[in-house]
Amino acid sequence: MDNRESTAFLVYAGSVDVVHNRFYHNGRRLMIELPFLSLDMIENMIENFTIIATLVLLYNFIPDTLISRSKQAFSLSVGIVFGLAAIISIPAFWHMAKVSTVGFNFILVPLSGFIGGPVSSVFVAAVLLTGSAASSGSISITDTLTIMSGILLGALFYIARSWTRFPKSSFSRLSLLGIGIAFIETGVFVFSFALQAPPDLQFDIFSLVSILPFVIVSWAGTIILGTIINYIDRSKQAEKELLDYKNHLERLVDERTVELKQANSLQKATIESTADGLVVVSRDGLIRAYNQRASRILDLPRHLPVNKMDYGAFTEKIVPFLLEPDEFLRRIIPLPESAEQVVMTDLMFTNGGIYELYVHPQQIGDSIIGRVWSFHDISKKRQAEETIAAANNKLVLLSNITRHDILNQMTALFSHLELLGMKNQDPTAIAHVNAMRKSLDAIQEQLEFTRDYQDLGLKIPEWQDAGAAFIRAAESFAGKNITFSCETAHVEILADPMIGQVFYNLIDNSIRHGDHVSEIRLLVKKKEPDLLLVYEDNGNGVLPEEKEKIFLKGFGKHTGLGMFLIKEILSITGIVIRENGIWQQGARFEMCVPPGKFRFP
């Protein structure tokens, strides 16, 4: 059999050794070795790459939050992980004499610098140089040159990550880093060839081709290892984002829980502090919650049942306490059909208690989920009102009797004055008689005013059609040749039942003091948020200096009580009246009705 022997250079990132590669035709070697590619070199590179790739996975154990807390600590951690990978893989070369321990491990230097910064690459470089010194007894110039170049390359790429024109793709960055590593390895190979090659060997293209497999493997290894680390980074970043989001949600839940507890505590304290009994009822009529005041009114359990279905139906709890249960049921049956209706009524209990009932819808957004029933105890108030009403009735009765007796006596006095005037023609006596007659007229007018004024405020204000009240008052002056007009759009105002007396006195005042009044009208004007009832006539009007005085008691040419009575009647429900007409162009009275005291049908 023929055998052939060829010589090639074995390159390990900075060292060149002569290797004799043989191949045989008789099959004694199972693999064919090319002249420029050593099977030992390929075997060792694969072995190293497997070890490095496995140990680089230790990168996954660097804490996620370390880089956000301290870049220096993260950089040192990267250096330790990559340095550990270098330490474990170095012994793979120790069995080969005169072979550098740097070898394929060189890619760890720039790769660690690219990921963790200069601190990481310096740490890995120190490990590799220490290993080189331990294995060969010294650090070669080529190893030093290779390591220093790797540190600079890693630092350059670490800084370049912040450049706007630097590629954003991870693959592009790793490819460029791999190309940089290939250039360093090629340059070191040329330098090493010049230092270590035998004199009879000349540098040619075949010498350069001999390093090509190592360069390709280094470039591919850089991309593969960098991709693994990039994948780990993305996974850790995703895990960190999920953890941050989880922590954020937990903080929100904790904050919301605290807010809800505070809101519930405040709500419970507010509900319990009110003097009213409150019962929350669902749409199907079941009790959902109530306060302690309601439990005492309706004899409900002091503590809420654990199972809300044990509360029972609201009507079943309240009907036994009512004096008129049928009337109560008649009022609440239409409630489901009028979901947003607010009901207010009085309930008489069998124990003599009187409660003012308010029923208000409970809403979530626009949806009605139930109703809140409020029981306000007005028993003492009603008793006081009844007591006051009884006393007022007695006073009114006494006032009516007294006024009637006084008027009877005044009638007798008028008769005696008439007789005295007929029998005595003395001018002085007649003057005294006339003076006494005027005094009696004033007394009579005062008595008539007390008759009108005694009913003021005795009755509850009620909703009344302002236009209808004005028309009824105008009917009393039908024979005065006055044209009345009403433009109120049937607005209703909440006022004392004596509102008709207001319009009567206004019309009477226009006729008495307007001189030539022929037109009187009442109209409505909206002045947000109030409503204006405007009374106008075409008479003389009111002098500017008297606009405020006319509402004072006793001011005026007649009794001085009519305008005063108007002001008092309107003030009961917060209505304010003022005169703002122009003298010689007619009187103009504006009655300002506040919000909530007027409504349109």
In a domain, 544, yes or no: yes
pLDDT of residue 578: 94
Q: Which long-range contacts (CB under 8 A, 24 or more apart) does 309-318 make?
A: 311/286, 311/287, 312/286, 312/287, 313/285, 313/286, 313/287, 314/279, 314/281, 314/285, 314/286, 314/287, 314/373, 315/285, 317/287
The residue behind tokens 């009337």 is 327
Q: Which of 377, 408, 426 is at the close of a domain? A: 377
Q: Which of 31, 30, 35 is nearest to 4 (CA)?
A: 35
> In Å, how far from its chain's centre is CA 358?
30
The residue behind tokens 């037109």 is 519
Count CB atoms within 10 A of the CB of residue 73.
Answer: 14
> Do 500 and 574 belong to one domain?
yes
User: 1: which residues sit within 8 A by CB, 6+ positions away?
Assistant: 24, 25, 26
Return the CATH number at 575: 3.30.565.10
Question: Using CA atoms, how far apart are residues 492 and 505, in angstroms rounded to an integer?
Answer: 20
Q: Residue 521 half-sphere exposure, CB side, CA atoms within 13 Å?
A: 9
In a domain, 97, yes or no: yes
Residue 301, classed as helix, strand or coil, is coil
Question: Using CA atoms, how far apart are residues 226 and 169, in angstroms rounded to an integer?
Answer: 12
In a domain, 365, yes or no: yes
Q: Residues 292, 298, 303, 309: is their CA dihedral positive or negative?
A: negative
> Do 129 and 229 belong to one domain?
yes
The 3-class secondary structure across 423-465, one letter per residue, is: HCCCHHHHHHHHHHHHHHHHHHHHHHHHHHHCCCCCCCCEEEE
pTM of the model: 0.44
> Do 70 and 211 belong to one domain?
yes
Q: Which of 296, 256, 288 is nearest to 272 (CA)?
A: 296
Spell out, as residue ranges, where the chain has pLDDT lower than 70. 1-57, 64-69, 89-104, 196-210, 304-312, 332-344, 449, 452, 454-455, 457, 556-560
> Do 487 and 587 belong to one domain?
yes
AA identity, residue 440: L
> Do 574 and 474 belong to one domain?
yes
In a domain, 88, yes or no: yes
> Do 443 and 483 belong to one domain?
no
Domain with 547, as residue range(s), is: 462-599
For every residue of 59-128, DSSP letters joined together read GGGS-TTHHHH-HHHHHHHHHHHHHHHHHHHTHHHHTSTT--S-GGGGGHHHHHHHHH-HHHHHHHHHHH
Residue 514, classed as helix, strand or coil, is coil
- Contact assessment for residue 98 and residue 12, using Cβ atoms and an 8 Å cutoff: no
> Do 434 and 496 belong to one domain?
no
In a domain, 19, yes or no: no
- Contact assessment for residue 9 and residue 202, using Cβ atoms and an 8 Å cutoff: no
Dihedral through CA 591, CA 596, CA 597, CA 601, nearest 10?
Answer: 110
User: Domain total for the chain?
Assistant: 4
> Do 372 and 386 belong to one domain?
no
Both tokens assigned to 504: 């009567």
pLDDT of residue 335: 61
In a domain, 7, yes or no: no
Strand bridging mode 598-599 / 492-495: antiparallel
Question: Using CA atoms, how far apart are residues 120 and 151, in angstroms rounded to an integer?
Answer: 9
**How many residues belong to the chain?**
601
99: left (phi over 0), alpha (psi -120 to 50) or beta: beta
AA identity, residue 246: K
> Do 509 and 579 belong to one domain?
yes
- Burial class of residue 599 in the structure, from the number of CB atoms within 10 Å of its CB (0-12 exposed, 13-18 middle, 19+ buried): exposed
- Contact assessment for residue 68 and residue 120, using Cβ atoms and an 8 Å cutoff: no
Q: Which of 46, 168, 163, 158 is nearest to 110 (CA)?
A: 158
> Do 309 and 389 belong to one domain?
no
Q: Which of 429, 453, 477 is at the close of a domain? A: 453
> Do 143 and 185 belong to one domain?
yes
In a domain, 342, yes or no: yes
Residue 520, classed as helix, strand or coil, is strand
Distances (CA, A) of 214 to 7, 9, 14, 37: 17, 12, 11, 9
In a domain, 13, yes or no: no
pLDDT of residue 313: 79
Angle at the Cα of 461 from the Cα atoms of 457 and 462, rounded to 5 degrees: 150
Both tokens assigned to 584: 């010689």
Question: Using CA atoms, how far apart are residues 72 and 41, in angstroms rounded to an integer?
Answer: 37
For residue 553, report the phi and psi dihedrals to the nearest 5 degrees: -65, 130
Q: Which of 550, 543, 486 is nearest to 520 (CA)?
A: 486
**Strand stretches in 307-386, DSSP E:** 343-348, 354-364, 367-377
> Do 368 and 389 belong to one domain?
no
Q: Which of 377, 405, 426 is at the close of a domain? A: 377
